[in-house]
């Protein structure tokens, strides 16, 4: 076939420029460490990478949520530990108050002690979390949940329970309402203590009436204690669940990272070997171009 | 006799000289664009009967011809039009591809930041800093939409200006071809010989025109007649006709290629008439990639705005007020056709975000009570008998004026949406993180009955409970008492059976069933004891710990919102994969077509191109011919001298 001089030059140049652009792309891949430079390089991979990085970002957000949830639950747990101790001590005080030989003065002391316990209990019910929000006020977490009254304490909060999204499928309540802790099933611990304090500090109280009241107060505190322990158990199991979810979340994060790396990251060994190969081809093309274009009959005439 | 030999020598000398000139011309034009090599056509001069036979009279050059094959040139031109169309489309879509390549500039990171901030808000709904972070990141998200949209609009403007310049190139080529037709006809009429250079120039212009638009050449006599599209003439003999760009009557922001002939009224050429070349590539890009990408991005903006607003409006803000639109509402774009004779102005709104498609629509009024709406993506036409019309989640109504029969309107629900999206609320207090109703069981309950999953709909927000609703279980009747006497109650059991109880009727307690009253729905579970009660309390005033609605807002991130079947993020990933696929497809087909073009060009060059070695050989050949001819003349002269010297 007859070949025009233009074709000889043009073909050589086209080949060399194609090789150079491949070289350029490899160079870009190596310097960025990425296999996919634009979506066109791997459309399916590019779209999957977006989906996975969203999943990864949501996963790490859930880890943040869990840290927050765990902080809240730990605040509740430590407050309820103090509540338990307080109620146990109030109970033993109550048992002492049943002694028939107590003088009215001694009864007054006990009344004072129980009254202090009541104030302390109200104080614990008004505990705040690390953000300065009340723990037991429901959604009204900036209003003090309990105010002391002559018959115990009144609840100023609401029935709201704050949930947190701790995994893609699990929503966990991370607050407790005061009434669920201190006044469950109609058993108001504040009222019980207040009533006993009133009876003990009133000299007119008959011992029969006092004994009946002490017996029912004892039952009430037992029920209250049971309830607090139930709440603590549920808080504890939530904390345990968060631990399990944390492990699961960490596993997922590793998995997402591995998948993203599979899709996006460059196989350096392959890329570097490709660059060397391309370089050899380019050099050969350049040399043959120079030699071919040097071949001309005009040199000899 | 001597002079005969001298003449024979002279004719050979002349021919060799012409040969060297033509070879020299070939050498000097070896790299000239459009040059076809020339060869001399040489033949023996008419011989003379000298009695004993015919005696040759030397040689003559009959013509200088260019080596040119119309068939090969046609192959090159066809391939040129196709290749240039693909490379134009490819380089245009590449700018979208590159825009999406930068993962930090795409929509994804802004969407993720925004929803991360919503999640942070759920953890601390009363915190001013959480609220500020959410407000700021939503503004960043809106501005990301806007910036992507403005990049796409820039590309649209660039298509407009390229259409304008490409059309004017075609017109200039057409004029030059027409005037070359004239010159060539004159030259051939006068001499009967082909003016090779003029013909080279004309063929070069045809090839250049082919890179702008696909052309058909019909040769008649010595003239080229050039046609585009479905037989629209651009050149007929020495007359040229022109293309122009005009504003689209349906959408005045875009230019369309039109045929205006000899300065007549421009007729807009459709996508099927403008094929091949830069013009074809630009139109293909605009119709099949740019518009689609714009609409898809807009669809996400519409979905986000509508679904986020809807959920925000089911909550209460930090001050206990019902939530207002978080984002400003987006309106579908409706453009009246410039040729409409009526004065109706239409307006639109979204009624169902999940039904909104990425298609555009045309609404045509056919007189009387006949309206038809055509969905342009698949050509489906739906007929209506009155306005307003609702189609695919978009409601269209007449805001002023009246239509005349034949009027039509272009409806673009999503094209402009990404530009329109913006944050509406101004204060952090306005984020509606709280739920309007709080469900609880009474603390004096003794049974295990529980109330959960309380949600409300817009009907509830329209007329919320004025006071708490207390539902009490009566074990004697098995009923749940206390529902408002004026409201019907719908009960859906866990197995899916739905029963509606008329207002005031007794409602039985069913564990696991979902109860709906006045727009509030909740699920009952467990076994309550007689007298156990449950309350639905309207949230009043500030309840800074209430994050129930924020949790639902956060859930939208992964909900199937766009087209009702994919998340915002998945919809964006779909754009990325569609653009990536098309770009990669065009790179592959473009490379294949470029190779075909290269081959066709090499084939044509193989026939018509100059080979310098061949010309070097010709130089030697004609030089030797010249020397030989001179020798003949020298011998003739010596013969004459011999005669003269006879004494």
Q: Which of A183, A136, A161, A145 is nearest to B438 (CA)?
A: A161
- Min CA distance, A83 vs chain B (Å)? 19
DSSP string across B237-285: TTEE-EEEEEE-SS-TTSEEEEEEETT---EE--TTTS-SHHHHHHHHH
CA neighbor of B417 nearest in space, from B536, B562, B538: B562
Residue A112's CB: how many other CB atoms inside 10 A? 13
Of A160, A183, A186, the CB nearest to B546: A160
Q: What is the pTM of this model?
A: 0.88
Choose the mutation target among A4, A35, A183 for the interface with B, i.e. most B CBs under 10 Å: A4
DSSP state of B502: P
Is the pLDDT reported for residue B103 higher than 80?
A: no
Concatenated DSSP letters of A215-227: HHHHHHHHHHHHH
Q: Is the backbone peptide bond immediately before B78 cis, with ω within 30 degrees of 0? A: no
Distance in angstroms (rounded) separating the CA atoms of residues A137 and A143: 7
pLDDT tens, B285-314?
999 999 999 999 999 999 999 999 999 999
Residue B28: pLDDT band (50, 70, 90) is: very high
For chain B, positions 586-625, list CB contacts with chain A under 8 A: 587, 598, 601-602, 605-614, 616-617, 619-620
Is the pLDDT at A254 greater than 80? The verdict is yes
DSSP string, B176-198: HHHHHHHHHHHHHHHHSS--HHH
**A183: nearest CA in chain B?**
B443
Sheet of strand B450-456, all strands in order from the earlier edge strand to the far edge: B450-456, B520-525, B514-517, B489-492, B498-501
Q: What is the pLDDT of residue B12?
A: 94
**Mutate which of B580, B590, B615 to disrupt the A interface (most A C-beta within 10 Å)?**
B580
Determine which of A159, A256, A293 to mutate to test the interface with B (most B C-beta atoms within 10 Å). A159
Q: Which of residues 329-368 of B touch A (CB under 8 A)?
A: none
User: How far apart are alpha carbons B493 and B486 in whole angstroms?
Assistant: 23
Considering only CB atoms, A164 lies closest to which of B98, B123, B598, namely B123
Closest-CA residue to A193 (of A102, A122, A106, A100): A122
3-state secondary structure of B225: strand
DSSP H or E segment with residue B145 = helix B128-191
Tell me: the pLDDT tens digits for B115-163?
999 999 999 998 999 999 999 999 999 999 999 999 999 999 999 999 9
In angstroms, rounded to a whole number, what is the distance separating the alpha carbons of residues A126 and A120?
10
Q: What angle do CA B498, B499, B502 make, to 5 degrees?
A: 145
Spatial separation of the C-alpha atoms in residues A159 and A141, rounded to whole Å: 11
The two tokens of residue B112 are 């993720």
Residues 6 or more apart whose Cβ sits within 8 Å of residue B360 = B291, B295, B376, B377, B410, B411, B412, B413, B415
ipTM of the complex: 0.85
Instruction: Give the range among A5-9, B180-184, B198-202 with minimum mean pLDDT.
Output: A5-9
Q: Is residue B8's pLDDT more than 80?
A: yes
By the 8 A CB rule, do B384 and B342 touch? no
**CA-to-CA separations, B236 to B276, B318, B389, B408, in angstroms, rounded:** 21, 76, 50, 37
Is residue B456 helix, strand or coil? Answer: strand
Cβ contacts of B619 on chain A, cutoff 8 Å: 301
Shortest Cα distance, chain B CAs vs residue A93, angstroms: 27
Q: Tell me the average pLDDT of chain B.
A: 93
Q: Do A46 and B577 touch (CB under 8 A)?
A: yes
The answer to whether residue B516 scores a pLDDT higher than 90 is yes
Residue with tokens 């947190």: A164
Mutation test of the interface with chain B: which of A2, A39, A163, A226, choosing the one with the most B Cβ atoms within 10 A?
Answer: A39
Report the residue from A40, A133, A138 with minimal CB separation from B97: A40
**A33 interfaces chain B, CB cutoff of 8 Å:** no
Name residues 16-45 of chain B within 8 A of A (Cβ): 30-31, 37
Cα–Cα distance, B228 to B272 (Å, whole number): 11
Question: What is the average per-residue pLDDT within A170-193?
Answer: 89
What is the DSSP annotation of B352-406?
Answer: -GGG--S--EEEEE-STT-EEEEETTTTEEEEESSSSEEETTEEEEEEES---TT
Give me the total of CB pairs closer than 8 Å, taking one residue from chain A and one from chain B.
209
Please list the residues that pair with A85 across neighbouring strands: none
End-to-end CA gap in chain B: 20
Tokens coding B190: 């006068």
pLDDT of residue B253: 84
Q: What is the per-residue pLDDT for B270? A: 85
Spatial CB neighbours of B242, under 8 Å, sequence gap ≥ 6? B171, B174, B234, B260, B261, B262, B263
Which are the contacts of B545, defined by CB distance < 8 A and separation ≥ 6?
A: A133, A137, A138, A139, A140, A141, A142, A160, A162, A175, B125, B126
Instruction: Identify the weakest region by mean pLDDT among A147-156, A255-264, B141-150, B438-447.
Output: B438-447
Task: Confirm if B361 and B375 have CB atoms less than 8 A apart.
Answer: yes
Q: What token pair was written down for B254?
A: 């875009």
Cβ neighbours, 10 Å, residue B108: 23
Closest C-alpha among A295, A274, A298 to residue A19: A274
Query: Could you tell me whether strands B255-261 and B242-247 are parallel, antiparallel, or unpaired per DSSP bridges?
Result: antiparallel
Q: Residue B505 has what DSSP assignment?
A: -
User: Are B445 and A180 contacting, i.e. CB atoms less than 8 angstroms apart?
Assistant: no
pLDDT in tens, B222-269: 999 999 988 899 999 999 999 999 998 888 888 999 999 888 889 999
- C-alpha distances (whole Å) from B612 to each of B206, B576, B623 are 26, 51, 16
Residues of A in contact with B204 (CB under 8 A): none
Contact check, Cβ <8 Å, B438/A138: yes
- The confidence score (pLDDT) of residue B502 equals 93
Show the CA angle centred on residue B156, arms to residues B94 and B595, nearest 5°. Answer: 35
Percent of chain B with pLDDT over 70: 100
Query: Which residue does chain A place closest to B129, by CA atoms?
Result: A131
The pair phi, psi for residue B123, each rounded to 5°, is -75, -25
Residue B96 has pLDDT above 60, yes or no: yes
**CA–CA dist B272, B175 (Å, integer):** 24
Helices (H) and strands (E) in chain A, counts: 7, 4
By Cβ distance, the residue of B106, B119, B537 closest to A159 is B537
Nearest CA in chain B to A66: B123
Residues B619, B621, B626, B630, Cα dihedral to 10°:
150
- pLDDT higher than threshold 90 for residue A158: no
Structure tokens at B364: 């045509």
Using a CB-CB cut-off of 8 Å, the residues of chain A touching B101 are 37-39
Residues of chain A contacting residue B602, judged by C-beta atoms under 8 Å apart: 3, 7, 11
Sign, Cα dihedral of B149, B152, B154, B157: negative
- A60 in helix, strand or coil? helix
| Token pair 């274009």 in the structure block, residue | A293
B-contacting residues in A 108-137 (Cβ below 8 Å): 131, 133, 137
CB A4, CB B611: distance < 8 Å: yes
The residues, any chain, with a CB within 8 Å of residue B81's CB and separated by 6 or more, are B210, B211, B213, B214, B215, B275, B276, B277, B280
Contact B16, B43 (CB under 8 A): no
**CA distances (Å), B151 to each of A207, B158, B283, B419, in order?**
89, 11, 18, 10
pLDDT at B2 (0 to 100): 57
- pLDDT tens figures, B405-440: 999 999 999 999 999 999 999 999 999 999 999 998
Query: Do the chains contact at B539 and A185, CB–CB below 8 Å?
Result: no
The answer for residues whose C-beta is within 8 angstroms of residue B395's C-beta and 6 or more apart is B348, B349, B350, B351, B388, B389
Q: Angle B398-B312-B332 (CA atoms, 0-180°, nearest 5)?
A: 25
């Amino acid at each position: 076939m007859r070949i025009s001089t233009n074709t000889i030059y043009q073909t050589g140049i086209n080949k060399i420029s194609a090789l150079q652009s491949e070289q350029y792309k490899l160079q870009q891949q190596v310097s960025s460490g990425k296999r996919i430079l634009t979506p066109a390089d791997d459309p399916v991979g590019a779209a999957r990478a977006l989906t996975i990085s969203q999943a990864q970002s949501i996963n790490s957000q859930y880890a943040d949520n869990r840290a927050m949830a765990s902080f809240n639950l730990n605040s509740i747990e430590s407050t309820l530990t103090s509540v338990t101790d307080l109620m146990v001590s109030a109970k033993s005080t109550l048992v002492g108050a049943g002694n028939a030989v107590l003088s009215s003065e001694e009864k007054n002391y006990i009344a004072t002690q129980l009254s202090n316990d009541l104030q302390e209990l109200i104080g614990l019910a008004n505990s705040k979390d690390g953000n300065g929000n009340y723990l037991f006020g429901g959604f009204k977490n900036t209003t003090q949940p309990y105010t002391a009254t002559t018959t115990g304490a009144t609840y100023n909060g609401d029935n709201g329970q704050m949930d947190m999204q701790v995994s893609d499928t699990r929503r966990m309540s991370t607050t407790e309402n005061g009434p669920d802790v201190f006044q469950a099933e109609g058993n108001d611990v504040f009222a019980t203590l207040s009533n006993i304090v009133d009876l003990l500090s009133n000299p007119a109280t008959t011992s029969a009436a006092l004994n009946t009241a002490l017996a029912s107060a004892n039952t009430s505190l037992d029920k209250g204690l049971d309830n607090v322990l139930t709440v603590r158990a549920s808080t504890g199991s939530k904390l345990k669940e968060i631990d399990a979810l944390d492990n699961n979340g960490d596993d997922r994060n590793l998995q997402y990272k591995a998948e993203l790396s599979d899709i996006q990251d460059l196989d350096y060994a392959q890329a570097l070997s490709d660059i060397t190969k391309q370089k050899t081809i380019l050099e050969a093309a350049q040399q043959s171009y120079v030699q071919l274009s040097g071949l001309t009959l005009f040199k000899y005439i | 006799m001597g002079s005969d030999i001298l003449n024979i020598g002279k004719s050979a000398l002349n021919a060799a000289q012409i040969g060297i000139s033509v070879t020299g011309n070939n050498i000097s034009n070896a790299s000239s664009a459009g040059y076809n090599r020339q060869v001399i056509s040489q033949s023996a001069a008419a011989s003379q009967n000298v009695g004993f036979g015919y005696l040759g009279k030397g040689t003559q050059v009959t013509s200088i011809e260019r080596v040119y094959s119309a068939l090969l040139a046609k192959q090159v031109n066809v391939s040129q039009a196709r290749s240039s169309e693909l490379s134009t489309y490819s380089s245009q879509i590449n700018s979208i591809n590159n825009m999406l390549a930068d993962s930090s500039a795409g929509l994804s990171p802004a969407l993720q930041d925004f929803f991360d901030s919503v999640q942070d808000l759920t953890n601390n709904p009363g915190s001013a800093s959480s609220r500020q972070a959410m407000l700021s990141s939503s503004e960043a998200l809106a501005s990301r939409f806007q910036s992507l949209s403005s990049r796409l609009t820039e590309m649209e403007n660039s298509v407009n200006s390229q259409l304008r310049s490409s059309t004017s190139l075609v017109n200039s080529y057409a004029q030059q071809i027409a005037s070359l037709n004239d010159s060539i006809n004159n030259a051939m009429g006068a001499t009967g010989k082909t003016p090779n250079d003029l013909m080279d120039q004309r063929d070069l212009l045809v090839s250049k025109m082919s890179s702008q638009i696909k052309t058909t050449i019909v040769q008649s006599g010595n003239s080229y007649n050039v046609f585009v599209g479905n037989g629209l003439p651009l050149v007929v003999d020495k007359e040229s006709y022109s293309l122009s760009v005009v504003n689209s009557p349906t959408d005045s922001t875009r230019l369309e290629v039109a045929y205006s002939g000899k300065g007549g009224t421009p007729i807009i050429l459709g996508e099927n008439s403008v094929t091949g070349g830069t013009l074809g590539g630009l139109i293909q890009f605009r119709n099949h990639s740019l518009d689609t990408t714009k609409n898809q991005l807009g669809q996400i903006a519409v979905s986000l705005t509508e679904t986020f607003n809807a959920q925000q409006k089911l909550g209460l803000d930090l001050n206990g007020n019902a939530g207002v639109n978080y984002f400003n509402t987006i309106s579908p774009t409706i453009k009246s056709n410039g040729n409409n004779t009526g004065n109706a102005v239409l307006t639109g709104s979204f009624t169902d975000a999940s039904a909104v498609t990425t298609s555009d629509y045309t609404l045509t009024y056919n007189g009387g009570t006949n309206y038809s709406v055509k969905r342009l993506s698949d050509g489906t036409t739906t007929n209506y008998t009155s306005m307003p019309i609702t189609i695919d989640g978009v409601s269209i109504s007449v805001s002023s004026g009246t239509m005349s029969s034949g009027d039509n309107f272009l409806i673009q629900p999503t094209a402009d949406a990404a530009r329109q999206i913006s944050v509406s609320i101004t204060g952090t207090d306005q984020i509606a993180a709280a739920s309007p109703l709080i469900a609880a069981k009474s603390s004096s309950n003794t049974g295990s009955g529980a109330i959960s999953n309380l949600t409300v709909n817009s009907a509830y927000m329209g007329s919320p409970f004025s006071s708490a609703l207390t539902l009490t279980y009566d074990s004697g009747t098995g009923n749940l008492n206390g529902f408002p006497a004026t409201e019907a109650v719908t009960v859906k059991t866990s197995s899916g059976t739905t029963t509606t109880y008329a207002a005031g009727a007794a409602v039985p307690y069913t564990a696991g069933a979902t109860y709906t009253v006045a727009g509030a729905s909740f699920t009952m579970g467990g076994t309550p004891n007689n007298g156990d009660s449950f309350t639905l309390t309207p949230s009043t005033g500030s309840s800074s710990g209430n994050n129930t609605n924020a949790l639902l807002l956060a859930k939208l991130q992964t909900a199937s919102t766009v087209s009702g079947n994919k998340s915002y993020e998945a919809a964006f990933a779909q754009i990325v994969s569609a653009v990536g696929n098309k770009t990669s497809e065009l790179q592959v087909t473009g490379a294949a077509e470029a190779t075909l073009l290269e081959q066709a060009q090499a084939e044509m060059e193989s026939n018509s191109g100059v080979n310098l070695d061949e010309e070097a050989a010709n130089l030697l050949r004609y030089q030797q011919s010249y020397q030989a001819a001179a020798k003949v003349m020298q011998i003739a002269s010596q013969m004459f001298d011999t005669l003269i010297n006879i004494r």
